[in-house]
Homo-oligomer: A and B are copies of this chain.
Amino acid sequence: MGEQSFEVKFEPSGRTVDVLAGTSLVEAAGRAGTVLDMPCGGAGTCGKCRVRVDGADAPADAEQNAFSPEELAQGWRLACRQRVTRDLTVVVPESSVFGGRHQILTDHDTGALHELEPELRQARVRMEHPTMEDGTPDLVRMEEALRASGAWNGDGVLQASPATLHRTVAALRDGGYDGWALLRGDTLLDYHPGGTRTPSYALAFDIGTTTLAAVLLDLSDGTEKGVSSRMNPQTAQGDDVISRISHAVQGEKELRELRDAITAVVGEMAAELCREAGVAPNAVHTAAFSGNTTMEHLLCGIDPAPLSMVPFVPVFGRGLFMPAANLGLAIHPEARAYVFSVIGGFVGGDTVAGLLATALPERTGATLFVDVGTNGEIVLSHGGQLWAASTAAGPAFEGARISCGMRATAGAVEKVVIDERLRLGIIGGGAPAGLCGSGLIDLCGQLLKCGALGCDGRLPAPENLPAGIPSDVAARFQRDADGEVAFVLSDDGTRRVSLTQRDVRELQLAAGAIRAGINILLRQAGLDIGQLEHVLVAGGFGSFIRRDNAQRIGLLPPELPHDRIVYIGNASLAGAKWAALSHRAHARAEVIARLARHVELSNDPDFAMEFAMAMYFPG
C-alpha cells in the first residue's frame, strides 16, 4: 500500500483526516483533535480506547477479550488495535476520550461538584530512533512525537529546564525512545521509559494561624492517601496574626525566622505523609496552599507590614505560583506550588478556598458562609454576587481570653447539657481540664435555655437566682474569694473549671461581632435573614457546635430552621485540595477573589449600632 492514504471521519466531532495506510486509529484520532484514553499505552490491555467502526474487520485477540460477541458484531473495536486500510467512519464515545469529559468528584462535606483535571498531564511518547540521516535533537524529537499523536498541541515550543533535560538523556535511551512524558502546559517536567504511566500525587495544605492541616492526594482519582495536622510553630511568636506581623517587621532576619519555621513543618508533614502512604516524594508533582492573608504572606516570605497598618492592604491579590521547594517541599524538583488568591487584608486565601470548595458563587439561593477560626470570616452569596467581611471573632472560640479556656484537646469540655442537672462531654473522657469553644457555646446556650442567663448575659448572684433553676445547676453559681460570681462546672479540690462574667462577655463580643457582620452583609445585599437558603459553617471547630446553642447565643441566626445550617468542616483545606486536583480551580479562585466585594464592617455607618445590639443574646 506504501504511500497510499485514506480518509477517516470521526463522529460525533465530524472531523475528517487523511492518513497513510497502516496508521493506527489512535493516531488518526489524535490528528483529528481527539486524544483517546489509553492508560495501557496502546498495549491492548486496558480496553479504554473503545470505538465503533462501520464495517469493521475481524477482531484481534485483545478485542475478543474486551468486548462481548454482540458488541463485536456491532463494530466495537479497540482503536489501538485498528489500522487504517480503507476510508472509514469511526464513532468515538465520550467515555473513550482522554480528558474529554473530566472525572467529576463530589466534595465530601459540601456536596459541591468538582472536576479532576490536574495541571499535570502524562502522555505516551513513541519516537523513532535517531539516525545519521535524522539527527533531530531529543527535545525536538519528543515535541514532534507529542504533536503527531495529538497529546500536545501548544502554540510555541516544548520547554524544559536543563535539569530535566539532563535526566531525560539516559531515560530516553534506556527505554528505546518509548515512554511517558510528564507535562505541565508547554513544559516537559519529566520522562519515564517504558510502557506504564507513573503514579502522580499532590499535596494540599491549610495554613491556619493556629493549626496546619495537610492531605496527600492521588491525582489519578482524587482519593486521599493520608491526612496530617500540626500546630503552627509560629505560635512561638504570638497567638494572633498581629503579634506575628509585629515580629516579622523587625527585620529580614525575623521575617525569615517566621517563614523558615513554617516551611520546615510543611516539609516534615509532606515527608511524613509520603512515608506513611508509601509514596515516593518524587512522585508528588504539585501542591496547593491556602491560608489567611497574613499567613500566606509569611509563608511566602513577603513583608506583611502593610497588613498591620491602615488601610490593611495585601501585597498580592492574585494567586501565586512558585517552585514547591521554595515552600519547604522536597518533592519532584519541577513541582510548583499554588498559593491562593486573597480578597483583602482580613479575608484571605482560606476564605477563597472555602468559597471554591463550596462552589458558593454558583449557588442559586442566598447562602451565607461563616468560617469560625482564629478570625471569623463571613461571606454572603446572592444572585452571582459575593459580599465578604471579617471580624475579630476568633480567640474566644479557640479558648483564648477565657478564664478556663483551652483548645479542643484532651480534657476539654466540648459539650454541655443542662436538664435536671449538668452533664458534661469531655474530650478523651476523664476529669474536665478546661472549656473549649464548643463547650463555651453549649454552656451559655444551655444557661440561656434554662433561664439562668438573661439576654443581657449577666451571671446572676447565688442569692439572686431566677426561679425554676434546677438545684444542681443553681448550686453551681458561687462567689469566689473576690466576691465575683462564677458558674462552676467541676471542682475536685485541685482544679476548678468555671465560667466567669468576663468569659460570658468575651463570648458576647465574639458572637456579637459575627452576628453584626452577618446583619450588615444581609442589609447591603437587601436581604432578610429568612431569605437565607443555607448557612454553611466552616472551621475545624464548627462541626462540634450544636446548632441549638449556637443559635441561642446568636452566633448563628436564631430565626433559621436547623436544616438550613450545614457544617462543612475545614473548607479551606477542601479548597486547597481542589486547587491541587484541578488547574481550573486556579482560574475559579481568581474569579471568586475579584468577584467578592470586600466589606470593611467598621466603615459601615450601621455597624456600631448593629454591634451594640448584638451584645444582647437573642430574646
Q: Using a CB–CB distance below 8 Å, which chain A residues touch chain B?
A: 130-141, 157-163, 165-166, 168-170, 173, 300-303, 305-306, 310-318, 320-322, 326, 342, 344-345, 590, 598, 600, 603
A135-B311, A137-B317 are known; give 8 further A-B pairs, CB within 8 A: A136-B317, A137-B344, A139-B318, A160-B316, A165-B316, A166-B315, A168-B315, A169-B303
Contact, CB under 8 Å: B138 / A316: yes
Query: Are A169 and B305 touching (Cβ within 8 A)?
Result: yes
**A600 touches which one: B132, B140, B311, B313 (CB < 8 A)?**
B132
Chain B residues within 8 Å of A311, by CB: 130-132, 134-135
A313 to B302, CA, bound (A): 44
Residues A163 and B318 in contact, CB atoms below 8 Å apart: no
Contact residues in B for A600 (Cβ distance below 8 Å): 132-133, 135
State whether A300 touches B165 (Cβ < 8 A). yes
**Min CB gap A144→B, angstroms:** 10
A132 to B310, CA, bound (A): 7
Instruction: Kindly report which residue of chain B lies nearest to residue A327, judged by CB atoms.
Output: B162
Q: How far is the CB of A163 from chain B (nearest CB, A)?
A: 7
Known: A132-B310, A315-B168. A161 touches B322 (CB 8 A): yes
B165 in contact with A133 (CB, 8 Å): no
**Across-interface contacts of A345 in B (CB, < 8 A):** 135
Query: Can you show 13 pairs from A to B with CB atoms below 8 A apart?
Result: A130-B313, A133-B600, A134-B311, A135-B344, A136-B317, A137-B313, A137-B344, A161-B322, A162-B300, A165-B315, A165-B320, A169-B305, A169-B306
> When the two chains form their complex, are residues B132 and A603 in contact, meaning their CB atoms are under 8 A apart?
yes
Known A-B contacts A165-B315, A315-B168, A326-B162; the reply to A135 vs B300 at CB < 8 A is no
Least CB distance from A606 to B in Å reads 16
In whole angstroms, how far apart are the Cα atoms of A221 and B424 in the complex?
79
A162 in contact with B320 given A135-B311, A135-B312, A169-B305 (CB within 8 Å): yes
Q: How many copies does the complex hold?
A: 2
On whether A315 and B137 interact (CB within 8 A), knowing A132-B310, A170-B303, A306-B169, the answer reads yes
**Would you give the shortest CB distance from A583 to chain B, in whole angstroms?**
13
- Which residue on chain B has the smallest CB distance to residue A157? B318
Residues of B within 8 A of A162 (CB): 300-302, 320, 322, 326
In the complex, what's the smallest C-beta–C-beta distance from A316 to chain B, in angstroms?
5
Q: Are A169 and B130 in contact (CB under 8 A)?
A: no
Contact B169 A137 (CB under 8 A): no
Contact A135 B315 (CB under 8 A): no
Chain B hits for A344, CB < 8 A: 135, 137
Using CB atoms, name the residue of chain B closest to A347: B135
The answer to whether A140 touches B312, judged by C-beta atoms less than 8 angstroms apart, is no
Q: How far is the CB of A217 from chain B (nearest CB, A)?
A: 24
Q: Is the CB of A302 within 8 A of B140?
A: no
In the bound assembly, the distance between CA atoms of A474 and B217 in angstroms comes to 86
Q: Once bound together, how far apart are the Cα atoms of A315 and B171, in whole Å?
A: 12
* Residue of B305, B317, B326 touching A139 (CB-CB under 8 A): B317
Contact of A590 among B130, B157, B313 (CB under 8 A): B157
Taking a contact as CB atoms under 8 Å apart, the answer to whether A138 and B321 are in contact is no
Is B135 a contact of A313 with CB atoms below 8 Å? yes
Closest 8 CB pairs of A and B: A137-B317, A162-B300, A169-B303, A140-B317, A137-B314, A130-B313, A166-B302, A132-B311
Residue of B nearest to A168 (CB): B315
How long is the Cα–Cα vector from A135 to B312 in the complex, in angstroms?
7
User: Which B residues are CB-close (under 8 A) to A305?
Assistant: 169-170
Do A306 and B138 form a contact, CB below 8 Å, given A162-B300, A311-B130?
Answer: yes
Roughly how many angstroms separate A598 CA and B133 CA in the complex, as a whole number? 9
| Alpha-carbon separation in the docked complex, A137 to B313 (Å) | 5
A315 touches B163 (CB 8 A): no
- With CB as the reference atom, state the residue of chain B lying closest to A161: B322
| Residue contact A302 to B169, C-beta cutoff 8 Å | yes
Q: Give, as a whole number of angstroms, the nearest-CB distance from A191 to chain B.
A: 11
Query: Of all chain B residues, which has the CB nearest A140?
Result: B317
